[in-house]
A and B are shown apart, each in its own frame.
Chain A
Amino acid sequence: MRLQRKLKIESVSWIICILLLTGCDSFEFSANQVSDRDSPRDLNSKNLTKLFSNPTDDTVTVVFVGDSQRWYDQLDRFVKKINTLDNVDLVLLAGDISDFGLLQEFEWVNDRLSGLEKPYVGVIGNHDLVANGEEVYTRMFGRTDFSFVYDSVKFICHNTNSLEYSNRKIPDMTWLSRELSGTTDAAYIVTVSHVPPFSPLEFDRELAESYPLLLSQTPKMLLSLHGHVHQHLDFYPFGDGVRYMTSYAFNQNAFVLLKIVNGKVLKSIVGY
């Protein structure tokens, strides 16, 4: 009996020891905490530095995806597939990086996407704004509205998740119009945001007309890229000459590959 007890105690203390050793990173303060000891920072600006170190060659090749939320299995396969492709400049993730806006999810996604040999840029989606998501995203990825020029193209990434806000007008039209008009260092403009203006519930109804109008009045406008709808669309919804495209979600096991050459967009669909 004594021996049995002793064995029990020993096994229990061993289990506790092992858990302590393996679990140093597992001391969580809350599922809603904004950061932990290991959480990465400023991923977008770090990835852009990586992008800018690429030599340019008049062709901008973009992998266009969105809605990685909760599909980690697919993310692993996606990363493997992208790493077999040559000539990819950039992976654009058009929002809903996470499903519940939790730090742990952002980390799970970035753990996988950081395996990409090419840089990736994450844009904010409505799911990323749930709970403390906005703070988590801002700390880990950077500002929700930002732009960069690569080769001949200016990418304007911004927050269009109007439904998540009750005290602020989103999208920020003042910022957007300044970004759209002041483009001297690029020949073409691609806007990237999560919710498209043709999603009547999530896109601010008062801006549903002025937003497309603003894009259509921008001469260098090439493409308006979005996630959210979980299907690939490629069309001219407002008949105003502006081409809108939406991405596959990760559960669809496919992505859109865009090659931008001299203002022409060559599109292909790749499965993984």
Chain B
Amino acid sequence: MLALLIGSADMNCYAQSVRNLLPDHFGIQYAGSIGWVSVGAGYDLFRSRIRIGLQYGYVPEDLGGELHILSASVYYQPLKIKVSRTVAIHPLDIGIKAAYHFGDQFYLNWPERFPRGYYWWKSALRLHLATESSVTFELKNTGAVKTVTGYIDLNTNDLYLVSYILNPTVLTITDIVKIGGGIRIRF
């Protein structure tokens, strides 16, 4: 009897921790500089003030690839406006993304034939500043999916920013800001 109890407690505990480890959200995104299409998952942290995610993106050859991109993102969600009982808006989340590009032509560490600092940036890794504006719908009477979020993502990267800062009068913000959009679901 005792063994059974302990056993079931263990099982509960295990199920609980697995449940905690499961991502809070899954998403699919179009463009936004991390793939033609990217899929990802992540967690909501600090009472949903912070959202972190990991995405895999793909660009097929006839759309400018072929590219495989792994990106990690952190967003701060300062403002949430409840529109109704089931609809909420995040007018502007602010985030950073790091996008790693797979391939022999991209370097995290430049080969030794280049003197140290010959190229100051890492061609495999782009760092992005991003914003996200989203609408979230709560699904009441349905099964597993609790919310569905649609969003628009604006981003620029470190190298575009450098170009802009050095040419503020001739390059415009719209030159360096790139757009993406996606859908995210929460369970």
Q: Identify the A interface with B (CB < 8 A).
A: 5, 8-9, 12, 15-16, 19-20, 22-23, 26-36, 70-73, 76, 99-105, 108, 130-132, 134, 163, 166, 201
Contact = CB atoms under 8 A, between A and B. Distances in A.
**In terms of DSSP, what is the predominant structure of the interface of chain B?**
mixed
Contact of B163 (A26, A72, A103, A163): A72
B91 A12 contact: yes
A70 B64 contact: no
Contacts of B177: 23, 26
Given A9-B89, A26-B179, A31-B99, 13 more contacts: A12-B89, A15-B133, A19-B152, A19-B179, A27-B30, A28-B180, A29-B59, A30-B34, A33-B63, A35-B64, A101-B123, A105-B163, A130-B119
B179 A28 contact: yes
Interface stretch (B3-11, B12-20, B137-145, B154-162): B154-162
Interface string B79-92: 00101000001010
B51 interface: no
Nearest to B169: A73
Interface residues of B, number: 49
15 contacts: A8-B81, A12-B91, A19-B154, A20-B152, A22-B174, A29-B65, A30-B34, A31-B33, A32-B67, A33-B63, A70-B167, A71-B167, A134-B105, A166-B111, A201-B115
A104 B170 contact: no
A105 B65 CA distance: 17
Contacts of A108: 163, 171, 175
Contacts of A30: 33-35, 57, 59, 64-65, 67, 69, 99, 101, 126
Contact of A9 (B63, B83, B126, B167): B83
A29 B163 contact: no
A33 B67 contact: yes
Nearest to B177: A26
Contact of B83 (A5, A35, A73, A132): A5
A118 B65 CA distance: 32
Given A5-B81, A36-B64, A73 B167 contact: yes
Contacts of A105: 163
